[in-house]
Amino acid sequence: MTDYKLDSIDRKILTLLQADAGIANIELAEQVCLSPSPCSRRVKNLEDQGYISRRVTLMDPNKAGLPVTVFIQVSLDHQVKRELDKFARQVSEWPEVMECYLMTGDFDYLMRVVAPDLHAYQAFLDEKLTQLDGVNHVKSSFSLKPICYKTELPLDHLR
């Protein structure tokens, strides 16, 4: 990535796109006080510079039939690159795994998994996660209700 510096219009475009990736270019241009062509070029530039990695639609997990959210702490037998890479490759393929982070501290990975019910989560544990070579310890914590869930990154520090 280059040393591209975001200006106030770029930051406004990013803020608006984070709130609604489906906003029409004409509306986006109007809100940032540009004509549509320069606005479109700026969005393309932000994509080319890597600020925009992709655009998605966020779904309500309950409406999608996935009301169970579980945070899982996973410890491996050995923390060697080969095993860490193997674990990361495998869990990235599982659709239930919404997020997975390599961690410092008392465990190796923190995962967020969704499931339709407890039986499905148990099947995920039995048939997938605990079947992986090298998994030593798994600790599950069930979410009772979401308090705060954000997908929009704060951009004020980029001024």
pLDDT at position 1: 47
Q: For residue 87, what are the domain limits?
A: 68-142
Backbone torsion region of residue 96, taken as left when φ is above 0, otherwise alpha when ψ lies between -120 and 50, otherwise beta: alpha
The total number of structural domains that make up the chain: 2
Residues 159 and 11: beta-carbon distance below 8 Å: yes
* CATH (domain of 109): 3.30.70.920
Residues 99, 41 share a domain = no
pTM higher than 0.85 for the full model?
A: yes
In a domain, 16, yes or no: yes
76 forms beta bridges with 135
Residues 136, 85 share a domain = yes
In a domain, 2, yes or no: no
- Which pLDDT tens digits describe the chain residue by residue (159 residues)? 457 889 999 999 999 999 999 999 999 999 999 999 999 999 999 999 999 999 999 999 999 999 999 999 999 999 899 999 999 999 999 999 999 999 999 999 999 999 999 999 999 999 999 999 999 999 999 999 999 999 999 998 887
